[in-house]
Structure 1
Amino acid sequence: MSQTPEQRLLLVHAHPDDESIGQGATMARYVAEGRGVTLVTCTAGEMGEVLVPELAHLAYEQQGGLGEHRRGEIAEAMKLLGVTDHRWLGGFGRYHDSGMAWHADGHAVIGEQVPENAFWLADLTEAATHLVEVIREVRPQVMVTYDEFGGYGHPDHIQAHRVATYGAALAAVPSYRRDLGEAWQISKVYWGAMSASRMRASLRRLREAGDTTTFEGMDPDGPLPPFVCADEDLAAVVDGSEYVEKKMAALAAHATQITTDGPFFALSNNQGSTVWGSEFFRLAQGTPGPVGPEGLETDLFAGL
């Protein structure tokens, strides 16, 4: 019988691939260090864009079936990262990808066509209670999810933030759903983030190298998209540079969503592990722990 790891991390993400983009290196590092890593994915990403021409028929607006395909992609990604505890919120297929459209201001919004069982339309208490069950079983000290805007406005990211926040609150109430196990208070909650100064430096190096297509239209000295965070708001950085190859392999496993000539790989090829190997976080709940030379925690479990 396997022993329960002393330190346990729970991540709550909206679609397959979100986890590898945001915290792939952190997940791989913590698994390698013997810490518990549990991933909860809220939808199968059925309405995602299909970037593989021969799989175009899987698109929601065509024959459909993308969700089942992405189920295989995330299974492979988790294998590459070493994560053995992956779950679907409420079970696979319980909540459907809500879809999205682009607002004129450059962020995501809900699309015109919303499926009946879309995650965006989910009853918050019901969805959060599915997470309560996981929290009380796993008993994580740390949880990672999105900020209140879901990084860039995707309705499923926003809903994942709400479900994670409410689920954590309900899980800590002793008299709430005693049938789901003993109450558990998560000590620290983080929101995934990207460093503005790192992003500007990366963009500057790309532009100086003559690359004008990666993150096209984004100026190193101009306004940055909402998923980029001011450095003073950051609380932690996890150095996963030793695991960046595993992260890139996991990204490549999400082949319908991420191309190897896309921005993630362009940045990685040009700048090695300096961009995607360091993953940043904002502290949303809990007491900050000791900090490293950059004035940031270097471990999400710092101080626990």
Structure 2
Amino acid sequence: MTTLPARRLLLVHAHPDDESIGTGATMAHYAATGAHVTLVTCTLGEEGEIHVPELAELAADRADQLGGYRIGELAGACAALGVTDHRFLGGAGRYRDSGMMGLETNEHPRAFWQADLDVAAGHLLEIIREVRPQVMITYDENGFYGHPDHIQAHRVAMRAHELAAAEGIAPAKVYWTAMPRSVLEAGLTHFAEASDNPFAGITDLSELPFGTPDQQIAACVDATEQHAAKEAAMRAHATQIPATSWLYSIAGNFGAEFMGVEYFTLAVGEKGSGTGRYGWEDDLFAGLAPDDAAGPTEAGAQRGPDDAESAVVPAVGQR
């Protein structure tokens, strides 16, 4: 048995590298401040591009070994973020990267896009039973930008939440990753004349598959103190994010603010108080009691009145 911290955060991501790009600073921030951070990755990212020429043979249309290699990259990223509890949904290799929407890879028999929703959600429910997170993070209905595995990760996470609610153990709050329109507008303006403009060809924000009105943002996690950890985690995913990536160009221009500030909408739960614009929360646990999740669980064990500071659950570790 292991005693876990009173604050427990669960993140559900589609592929290795998604955690670092979208929520790396948040993960590092909460890990550094003593929360138990659990990362669930739904696929190995087998269909990803390879930006390291000497590893080109690992590609899906060649040796098809990229997924195994990316397990190591993800381990390096988690180490950089200070996250020690990582799981692959259903076990490593249970679900395969589906590739971009509309490709033949969507139909692969192990493609995550083809996963039975209740079976996949059942795998996540097992983790919820074990860790009892108060807060869960995943994507919105469009998977942030429309990738089938991101959409499926959203569906699985939300279905698992429904199943957990039926057992009285659902996370009290569910957040979806988001990008405020004001931030996108600033980027569009800043890079208008840049040679490495990531917005090249975009003249209006409505052309982007993401972007949330600022008033709809619920939380802004300022983890600028963890910007270096996030960048290190991203660099661990070398096959996916080349050293010349525009992500690092933006970081060079905006520094800690770009790498260290992340935004979320609130899909489930009550919004707590916050000091940010429009009352944005600055803490994802805002408004929650020290332990709003039902707590321990081993063969139906019940929490006692003196257990508020921590939850006792079966030992967890790197998977």
TM-score (structure 1 length as normaliser): 0.91
SS at match of 1:229: coil
Give unpaired runs (5+ residues) of structure 1: 101-108, 175-182
Mapping 1:94-173, distance limit 5 Å: 94-100=94-100, 109-113=101-105, 114-173=107-166
1:199 alignment partner in structure 2: 184
Matching of residue 72 in structure 1 with residue 72 in structure 2: yes
Distance 1:252 1:75 in 2: 12
CA shift for structure 1 position 217? 1.6
1:12 alignment partner in structure 2: 12
Asked if 2 retains the 8 angstrom alpha-carbon contact of 1:7 and 1:35, the reply is yes
- The Cα offsets for residues 80-104 of structure 1, whole Å up to 9 and x where unpaired, read as 000000000000010111111xxxx
Asked if 1 retains the 8 angstrom alpha-carbon contact of 2:276 and 2:282, the reply is no
1:264 alignment partner in structure 2: 247
Identify the match of residue 237 of structure 1 among 220, 225, 231: 220
CA shift for structure 1 position 221? 5.4
CA shift for structure 1 position 214? 2.6
Asked if 2 retains the 8 angstrom alpha-carbon contact of 1:171 and 1:184, the reply is yes
Distance 1:62 1:192 in 2: 34
Which amino acid is the alignment partner of residue 56 of structure 1? A
Distance 1:130 1:53 in 2: 36
Specify whether residues 128 and 285 from structure 1 end up closer, same or farther in structure 2 by C-alpha distance, changes over 3 A only: same
Distance 1:143 1:266 in 2: 30
User: Please, which moves more after superposition, 194-203 or 36-45?
Assistant: 194-203
Asked if 1 retains the 8 angstrom alpha-carbon contact of 2:9 and 2:133, the reply is yes
Asked if 1 retains the 8 angstrom alpha-carbon contact of 2:39 and 2:87, the reply is yes
Specify whether residues 198 and 120 from structure 1 end up closer, same or farther in structure 2 by C-alpha distance, changes over 3 A only: same
Matching of residue 247 in structure 1 with residue 239 in structure 2: no
CA shift for structure 1 position 126? 0.4
Give unpaired runs (5+ residues) of structure 2: 289-319
CA shift for structure 1 position 216? 3.9
Which amino acid is the alignment partner of residue 196 of structure 2? T
SS at match of 1:128: helix
Identify the match of residue 228 of structure 1 among 174, 199, 211: 211
CA shift for structure 1 position 70? 0.3
CA shift for structure 1 position 213? 2.2
Higher relative contact order (CA 8 A, sep 6+): 2
Q: Which of structure 1's runs of 4+ aligned residues deviate more than 6 A? A: none
CA shift for structure 1 position 227? 2.2
1:273 alignment partner in structure 2: 256
Asked if 2 retains the 8 angstrom alpha-carbon contact of 1:218 and 1:224, the reply is no
2:56 alignment partner in structure 1: 56
Which amino acid is the alignment partner of residue 300 of structure 1? L
Distance 2:43 2:201 in 1: 30
Matching of residue 293 in structure 1 with residue 286 in structure 2: no
CA shift for structure 1 position 231? 1.0
1:179 alignment partner in structure 2: none
Aligned length: 286
Q: Give the share of equivalent positions with the same residue, in percent.
A: 53
Which amino acid is the alignment partner of residue 240 of structure 1? A
Q: What is the alpha-carbon root mean square deviation over aligned residues?
A: 1.4
User: Please, which moves more after superposition, 196-205 or 244-253?
Assistant: 196-205
- The Cα offsets for residues 208-256 of structure 1, whole Å up to 9 and x where unpaired, read as xx41423142547553512222212111000011101110110010011
